[in-house]
């Protein structure tokens, strides 16, 4: 297709965007800046040695054209033949899916010597082509006379209509409208989609995940969290408009660096009550449940290599989330963020009450709404976990939904529906993810017990159906086990066969899990409706809270991250995470040799250890002070989830590392960034090259990268 001219925000809208929200003072290193705001930065003064326009300039090819969103992560093109570098943990699920007990690429790594050996994945690759401000169009017809739900619907309808119009213009592109600030600003993005992504190089698990969950979200770090894939288009390697050059010399302490990527979600402009809601409900409830789920899955898979492979991706995701949430909890306890945010809101409330033309009802109403939300939060979270944790419950729910749709049709419509039954049953089949019937029952029973213990009464009807009169964890579990053992969904092979051969017989077959779903689903929907009503009003109040801040503050505003392309910049820099402790910004292979064990999270096979001990690597791969190959790198950039795989770029825009994590103290970045504790972690490009050259002999990849060692 002909390349689109990359747009900037329309002039007046951009000025409004940059001036209206001038209420949050910040140091220059903070911020995940949208492309529309790069013109407001002085990166040359910060240390950039190339023209700022080389990063991004409307209508020109820049470094941003080398960036991709790869699944839920970021990646960057590093060759003219579509090679993309990202994190090992970003392709972990794809590698696990491609692995078998005979060819365990997850454990042993993978290297394709040529394109014919590359393995296809289901990873989607998305490239930002252009964007436009569509705020006025999205907010057309929204008025204070509408209820919050009506305002939400108007915005949703406008977004749907605008997206369709744009999609009709560019059917080959992916069109998305992103909310830059709720009720204020919206941006339409045009993306090129590549759906053929293949594995090229994956380091052994002992390298890519060295330190495991013990070191996750921790510094010092010694894992090679990187992998290389290739994007294809029409069966041929994709030729990107821009690819990154690699600096084999890496970077040094205090050097200027910047990151481009697709950070997920931050919540820095949310009210103080949101932090309480996170601190008392979301973070503790989810982390506690995920901990239990992780322990149960590990026990079930112990000693079974096939199960370990099937559970690997799920366990990695659960472990990553629960440790992140615990870091946030620790951060909220350790810092004064909560107190400061509430003090700020009290000042804003007093200001609003004393100032003509400022709405004094906004902050008290926000407090009331969060009080309502907190009352139902725990049960709503746990009940929703039933659908994602229990595959048997979820497929029973999906069957009920499809049967309900069928029963609501006329006889003529039912006949037409039956003629297209394979398509209508597709979602039911897709929802059937059951590995172990007993484990499925255990997870569901534990959730029922947790809902019962919350004391809100949302488990009463379930317990009545289960005929549990004296509820305890064991009595509930026994009753659930009895139903699960007799369920048709426990026999996956037989159930799939019934779906395929006699789909109507499957839909009409009775099962007690289906009856449980009929009890639980209305409860979840009622809570969900209350939840949505609360959120709709909060969405209306958020821009009004912004108006109060606008009237009160000066400074710079950076909108919360929302999975759109951003830039953050800062410096390679150590820090003191606790009293009397200083963390250097680099780690080396010596740290691997110190940590290495014959098993567990620090497992490193002898053949790789021998190479670490004996290979005399090129001097440019070594730390200038410690005469050893650099492994990890630490810097004070502003990152969050979604920045996994983001390129770390030096002052010349060259690749010097791959971002993969934050320090434990920086998990709270999602709520507030602070120079004293916000540090991000990457794998140094020197270790990336060392591993490919000396551990795996991936010479074909290095040759394509035009790297000589």
Tens of pLDDT, residues 632-661: 999 999 999 999 999 999 999 999 999 999
Q: What is the pLDDT of residues 118-128, one digit of tens each?
A: 999 999 999 99
Cβ atoms of 636 and 81 closer than 8 Å: no
514 and 647 share a domain?
no
Please check the confidence at residue 6 and state whether its pLDDT lies above 80: no
Question: Strands 630-635 and 586-588: what pairing?
Answer: antiparallel
Share of the chain above pLDDT 90, in %: 82
Characterize the bridge pairing of strands 236-237 and 586-588.
unpaired
* Shared domain check, 515 and 437: yes
Number of domains in the chain: 2
- pLDDT tens digit string along 228-281? 999 999 999 999 999 999 999 999 999 999 999 999 999 999 999 999 999 999
For 467-523, what is each residue's pLDDT tens digit? 998 999 999 999 999 999 999 999 988 999 999 999 999 999 999 999 999 999 999
Domain assignment present for 615: yes
For 346-394, give the DSSP string.
Answer: HHHHHHHHHSTTS-TTHHHHHHHHHHHHHHHHHHHHHHHHHHHH-HHHH
- Other Cβ atoms less than 10 A from the Cβ of 299: the count is 10
Higher pLDDT, 580 or 662: 662
Cα–Cα dist 255/651, whole Å: 8
Beta bridge partners of 658: 647, 683
Task: Report yes or no: 223 and 209 within 8 Å, Cβ to Cβ.
Answer: yes
In angstroms, rounded to a whole number, what is the distance separating the alpha carbons of residues 684 and 657? 4
Looking at 91-100, 430-439, 525-534, 626-635, which range is the least confident one?
Answer: 430-439
Are 293 and 425 contained in the same domain?
yes
Q: Does residue 581 sit in the same domain as residue 540?
A: no
Residue 695 and residue 224: Cα distance in Å, rounded? 11
Q: Which residue would you say has higher pLDDT here, 65 or 418?
A: 65
Query: Who wins on pLDDT, 384 or 675?
Result: 384
Mean pLDDT of the chain: 92
Answer yes or no: do 452 and 593 share one domain: no
Provide the residue count of the chain: 709
User: Do the Cβ atoms of 318 and 294 come closer than 8 Å?
Assistant: yes
Domain assignment present for 153: no
What confidence score (pLDDT) does residue 29 get?
57
The total of other beta-carbon atoms located within 10 Å of residue 250's CB is: 28
- Domain membership flag for residue 276: yes
Confidence bin at 19 (pLDDT 50/70/90): very low
Residue 202's SS3 state is strand
Q: Give a yes or no: residue 18 inside a domain.
A: no
Q: Are residues 654 and 522 in the same domain?
A: no
SS3 of residue 674 by DSSP:
coil
pLDDT 10s digits, 60-85: 999 999 999 999 999 999 999 999 99
In this prediction, residue 631 has a pLDDT band, given cuts at 50, 70 and 90, of: very high
- Cβ pair 708, 699 in contact under 8 A: no
Long-range Cβ contacts of 518-526 (<8 Å, 24+ apart): 518/400, 519/461, 519/462, 519/465, 520/383, 520/386, 520/462, 521/397, 521/400, 523/383, 523/458, 523/461, 524/380, 524/383, 524/384
Distances (CA, A) of 506 to 335, 404, 428, 501: 55, 14, 11, 9
Q: Is the pLDDT of residue 9 over 50?
A: no
Q: Would you put residue 35 in left (φ > 0), alpha (ψ -120 to 50) or beta?
A: alpha
Question: Is 207 part of any domain?
Answer: no
Residue 691: alpha-carbon gap to chain centroid: 27
pLDDT at 556: 58
What's the average model confidence in pLDDT over 212-229? 95
Residue 531 pLDDT: 97
User: Cα 450 vs. chain centroid, distance in angstroms?
Assistant: 26
End-to-end CA distance of the chain: give it in Å, rounded.
38
Percentage of the chain exceeding pLDDT 70:
95
- What's the number of CA atoms in the CB half-sphere (13 Å) around residue 568? 30
- Both 495 and 583 in one domain: the answer is no
- Chain segment 331-340, per-residue pLDDT in tens: 999 899 999 9
Average confidence (pLDDT) over 587-603: 96
Q: Could you tell me if residue 485 is inside a domain?
A: yes
Instruction: Report yes or no on 509 lying in a domain.
Output: yes
CA–CA distance, 635 with 651 (Å, rounded to integer):
14
- Residues pairing with 126 in the sheet: 69, 193
On the question of pLDDT at 683 being above 80, the answer is yes
Q: Does position 435 have pLDDT exceeding 90, yes or no?
A: no
The answer to whether the CB of 431 falls within 8 A of the CB of 389 is: no
Mean pLDDT across 564-577: 94
Question: What does the alpha-carbon distance between residue 304 and residue 564 come to, in Å, rounded to a whole number?
Answer: 40
**Could you tell me which residues come within 8 angstroms of residue 493 by beta carbon, excluding any fewer than 6 positions away?**
none
The answer to whether position 178 is within a domain reads: no
Q: Are 375 and 508 in a shared domain?
A: yes
302/431 same-domain check: yes
Domain ends where: 545, 576, 596? Answer: 545
> Is the predicted pLDDT of residue 1 greater than 80, yes or no?
no
Question: Is the model's pTM score more than 0.95?
Answer: no
- The range of the structural domain enclosing residue 295 comes to 272-545
Decide which of 512, 545, 578 is a domain's last residue.
Answer: 545
Q: Grade residue 21 by pLDDT with cuts at 50, 70 and 90.
A: very low
Other Cβ atoms less than 10 A from the Cβ of 651: the count is: 19
Instruction: Mark whether 364 and 500 lie in a shared domain.
Output: yes
Does 313 lie in the same domain as 447? yes
Whole-angstrom CA distances from 211 to 23, 137, 189, 222, 597 are 41, 50, 38, 7, 10
Run of H or E residues at 334: helix 305-334
Question: Are 665 and 520 members of one domain?
Answer: no
Helix spans in 101-172 (H): 105-108, 135-138, 148-169
Q: Which residues contact 302 (CB under 8 A, 6 or more apart)?
A: none
Model pLDDT, residue 431: 84
pLDDT tier for residue 555 given thresholds of 50, 70 and 90: low
Domain end, chosen from 545, 580, 615, is at 545
When pLDDT is cut at 50, 70 and 90, the band that residue 674 belongs to is confident
Q: How far apart are CA 159 and CA 173, in angstroms?
A: 17
């Amino acid at each position: 297709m002909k390349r689109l001219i990359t747009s900037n925000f329309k002039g007046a809208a951009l000025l409004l965007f940059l001036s209206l929200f001038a209420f949050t003072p910040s140091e220059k290193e903070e911020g995940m800046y949208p492309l529309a705001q790069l013109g407001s930065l002085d990166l040359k003064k910060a240390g950039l040695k190339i023209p700022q326009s080389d990063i991004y300039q409307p209508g020109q090819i820049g470094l941003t054209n080398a960036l991709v969103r790869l699944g839920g992560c970021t990646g960057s093109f590093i060759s003219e033949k579509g090679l993309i570098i990202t994190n090992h943990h970003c392709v972990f699920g794809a590698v696990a899916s491609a692995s078998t007990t005979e060819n365990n690429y997850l454990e042993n790594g993978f290297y394709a010597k040529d394109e014919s050996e590359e393995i296809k994945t289901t990873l989607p690759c998305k490239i930002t082509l252009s964007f436009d401000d569509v705020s006025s169009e999205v907010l057309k017809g929204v008025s204070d006379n509408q209820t919050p739900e009506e305002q939400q619907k108007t915005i949703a309808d406008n977004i749907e209509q605008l997206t369709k119009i744009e999609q009709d213009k560019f059917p080959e592109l992916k069109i998305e409208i992103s909310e830059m600030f709720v009720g204020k600003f919206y941006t339409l993005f045009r993306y090129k989609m590549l759906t053929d992504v293949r594995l090229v190089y994956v380091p052994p698990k002992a390298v890519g995940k060295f330190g495991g969950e013990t070191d996750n979200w921790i510094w010092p770090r010694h894992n090679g969290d990187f992998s290389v894939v290739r994007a294809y288009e029409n069966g041929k390697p994709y030729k990107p408009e821009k690819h990154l050059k690699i600096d084999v010399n890496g970077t040094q302490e205090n050097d200027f660096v910047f990151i481009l990527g697709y950070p997920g979600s931050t919540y820095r402009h949310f009210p103080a009550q949101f932090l309480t809601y996170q601190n008392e409900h979301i973070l503790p409830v989810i982390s506690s449940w995920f901990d239990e789920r992780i322990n149960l899955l590990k026990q079930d898979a112990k000693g079974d290599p096939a199960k370990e492979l099937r559970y690997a991706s799920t366990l990695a995701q659960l472990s990553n989330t629960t440790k992140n949430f615990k870091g946030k909890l620790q951060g909220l306890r350790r810092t004064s963020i909560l107190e400061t945010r509430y003090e700020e809101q009290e000042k804003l409330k007093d200001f609003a009450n004393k100032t003509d033309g400022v709405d004094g009802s906004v902050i008290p109403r926000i407090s009331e709404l969060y009080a309502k939300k907190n009352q139902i939060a725990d049960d709503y979270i746990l009940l929703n976990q039933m659908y994602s944790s229990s595959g048997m419950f979820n497929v029973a729910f999906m069957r009920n939904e499809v049967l309900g749709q069928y029963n609501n049709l006329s006889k003529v419509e039912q006949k037409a529906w039956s003629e297209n039954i394979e398509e209508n049953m597709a979602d039911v089949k897709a929802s059937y993810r059951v590995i172990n019937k007993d484990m499925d029952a255990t997870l569901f029973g534990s959730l029922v017990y947790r809902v019962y213990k919350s004391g809100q009464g949302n488990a009463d009807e379930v317990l009545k159906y289960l005929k549990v009169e004296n509820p305890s964890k064991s009595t509930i579990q026994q009753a659930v086990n009895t139903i699960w053992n007799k369920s048709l969904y426990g026999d996956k092979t037989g159930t799939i066969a019934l779906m395929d051969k006699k789909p109507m017989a499957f839909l009409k077959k009775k099962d007690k899990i289906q009856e449980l779903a009929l009890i639980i689903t209305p409860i979840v929907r009622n809570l969900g409706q209350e939840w949505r009503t609360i959120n709709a009003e909060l969405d209306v109040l958020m821009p009004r809270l912004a108006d109060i801040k606008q009237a009160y503050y000066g400074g710079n505003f950076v909108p919360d991250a929302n999975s759109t392309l951003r830039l953050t910049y800062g410096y390679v820099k150590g820090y003191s995470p606790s009293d009397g402790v200083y963390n250097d910004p680099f780690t080396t292979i010596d740290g691997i040799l110190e940590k290495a064990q014959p098993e567990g999270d620090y497992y490193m096979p002898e053949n790789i250890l021998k190479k670490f001990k004996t290979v005399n690597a090129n001097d440019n791969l070594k730390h200038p002070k410690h005469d050893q190959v650099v492994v990890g790198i630490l810097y004070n950039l502003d990152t969050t989830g979604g920045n996994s795989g983001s390129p770390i770029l030096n002052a010349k825009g060259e690749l010097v590392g791959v971002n993969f994590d934050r320090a434990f103290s920086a998990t709270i970045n999602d709520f507030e960034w602070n120079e004293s504790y916000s540090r991000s972690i990457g794998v140094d490009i020197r270790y990336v090259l060392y591993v490919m050259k000396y551990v795996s002999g991936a010479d074909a990849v290095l040759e394509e990268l035009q790297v000589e060692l």
